Amino acid sequence: MNSDIRELSELEDLRQLADLFAVVWGRPGQPPLSSDILKALAHSGNYISGAFASGRLIGGLVGWLGGVPPHDLHMHSHILGVLPDSEARGLGFDLKQHQRRWCLAREVKVMEWTTDPLIRRNAYFNLTKLGAGAPEYLVDFYGQMEDGINAGDESDRLLIRWRLDSKKAEAAAAGRLAELDVDKLRGWGRTPILSAGPRGEPVLVSSSARVLICQVPDDVVALRHSDPALAREWRMALRHALGGALDRGYEITGATRAGWYVLENQ
C-alpha cells in the first residue's frame, strides 16, 4: 500500500492523529497525547507527521526538540503508531526516515527515544533496521502505565540514541545493514546470559565473555494477558541480564529478528 507522509498542523488532522494513537495503544477515547497538546507542539515548531493512504490517516509520529542548544540539541521522538489493519508494510521505517530527514535539514544530528526492551520487534527495528544504539537501561522509567500494551508490568525501557548522520544510519536508510548471526555466535560457544527454558521460563547464566547474547520472549504483550506472572519473571530477568551487562560496561551491538540481543565488552 502506497502512503503519503506529511507534516500535520491543522486541528482536525491532529484530532485524527490523537484518535489513531488511542486505538493503537488500546485505550479508545483516551489518547496518550491529546489534540490540544499536539496543536501546541506543532505551533511551537516541533515535528508531527501523519501517513495517509487513499485519504485515510493510517500512521503518525510525534517528536520535539530537547537538550541544551547548541551542544546537546536533539530530537526526542516520543510516539510512533501505525494502525494494525493498514497493511502498510515498512511504514514505521518510512516515518522514521522522514523524521530523520526533517532533523538533518535543521542541523539536528541526534535523535533519542525509549523502547520496551522485552518487545523483540522494536529491538530489531531500532537497532538493526535503523542502525541506532542503546546506551542505557532505564528501570521502571514511566512508572505504572494503564494502556492495553503495558498494563500490569513495570515500565523498564532502553534509551535509544540514533546518530542521524553516522555511516551506520546512512547504511540503514539505504537498506544495507546486515543482521547479526546469533546461530554462528552460539556455534562458537557463546552461552546465552538469558534464554527461554523448556516451559518458556527465563533462564539466567552469568558470563564475563567478551561477546554476550541475550534472548527475549516471542510476544511479551500476549504473555502479559495469558500469564502475567511469567511476563513479570521475564521483566526481572532481563533487567538483571541486559541492564546488568550495560552497567558492567558492555555495549549492545545489535538485535536480531528472532529475539536476541548481542553485546560486546569494548
Q: Give the pLDDT score at 266.
A: 77
Cis peptide leading into residue 84 (ω within 30°): no
| Main-chain phi, psi angles of 213, to 5 degrees | -125, 145
> pTM of the prediction?
0.90
Alpha carbon distance 120, 129 (integer Å): 13
Is the per-residue pLDDT at 186 higher than 80?
A: no
- DSSP codes, 197-259: -TTS-EEE-----SEEEEE--S-HHHHHHH-HHHHHHHHHHHIIIIIHHHHTTEEEEEE-TTS
Q: What is the pLDDT of residues 118-129, one digit of tens each?
A: 999 999 999 999
What pLDDT, in 10s, does the model give residues 150-173? 556 788 999 999 999 999 999 999
pLDDT tens across 22-36, in order? 999 888 888 999 999
DSSP string, 70-132: TTS-EEEEEEEEE-TTS--TTHHHHHHHHHHHHHHHTT--EEEEEE-TT-HHHHHIIIIIS--
Amino acid making up residue 183: D
Confidence of residue 67 (pLDDT cuts 50, 70, 90): confident
The pLDDT of 116-144, averaged and rounded, is 94
Residue 183: Cβ within 10 Å count: 10
Residue 71 has pLDDT above 80, yes or no: no
- Provide the residue count of the chain: 266
